[in-house]
Every structure is written in structure tokens, then in C-alpha cells.
Amino acid sequence: MNEKRAADSGSIPVVLVPGWLDNANKMGSLATFLRKEGFATLILSPQPSDGSVPVETLAGQLAEEIERRFAPGQMIDFVGFSMGGLIGRAYLHWMGGSERIRRFVTISTPHRGAIGGRLAWQPALRQMVPDSPFITSLNENLDDLSSRPFLSIWTPLDLTVV
């Protein structure tokens, strides 16, 4: 697990998770901005991020790191970029994240799949095929998202996200 951290007490920490082929450096500028605004931030970068392991495996790493780094019951705000948003959703949906995540933000996350998934052989990328069992399962019940503030930032100009 690659990480960058800023310890800042007194606020709800913001956990940043980068996406496919990314590491902690991808979220560095956002983390710096948030720190300057007074937010405690922690970048967690489950690895490998190349799609060679299922999203649930990466979400398991995320769950372990959050449990290790935060006191029981400590709430967090979550920001995921691209596949990082799906990692966060898997954590939220299946791994106890609903007890930890106060706010949930995604940036360019393929909530309904990614076109490139059809051309890939890697497990995580195959999971991102539109209407794959993984995407379908995540989207069957959206109570975990609707029960907290949720923001999805995206652009119609993104040619890979459905």
C-alpha cells in the first residue's frame, strides 16, 4: 500500500484513493489543496493498480488500512478517482465502509462501467465492463450511497466512462 499522509487533528479526515495505473502521487495536488484548507488527509493507494487483481481485493486492502489507521468509530470522508471510486464503493457496499464513511465523492468513476473494459484481460478491468456482474451488483442497491452525502464529478467528454 503506497501512502502519503498529513496528520491534522480535530477534523474528519479525508481519505483519497487514486485509480487505475495510479499511485499516491496522483492525488498529491488535491491533498495539498485540502491540507491548506485545513483538512486532515490521507492518501491510500491499494496496489497493484494495474487491474491485475479484482476490485474487491483492492477494497480489502483499503478496509484493512482504514481499520489500522483510525480509531473504532472514527468517521472519514472519502474521495476516489476513477477506479478508486469503485474501490471505495466496494468497501462501502460489502466491507463495512457504511459504518465509517460520512461523505462519499468520486471523480471520473465508471459507476456504470468503462468502454475499455471490453478490450482488457485484467480482472479489475473486466469488472468494469458495462453491465458486468460486478457493476450490476454495485448498482442493484444504492442505499449505501443515498444514506450519506454523495457527489459524483464527471464530464460527458470522458470517452471511457459510460
Using the Cα atoms of residue 31, residue 111, residue 133 and residue 49 in order, give the sign of their dihedral. negative
pTM metric for this prediction: 0.91
| Res 1: pLDDT | 59
Architecture of domain 2-153: 3-Layer(aba) Sandwich (3.40)
Residue boundaries of the structural domains of the chain: 2-153
pLDDT in tens, 112-140: 999 877 777 889 999 999 999 999 999 99
The widest CA-to-CA distance across the chain, in whole angstroms, is 46
For residue 136, what are the CA distances in angstroms to 25, 120, 130, 141, 155? 31, 18, 8, 9, 22
Q: pLDDT by residue (tens digit) across 71-99?
A: 999 999 999 999 999 999 999 999 999 99
In the DSSP assignment, the letter for residue 70 is S
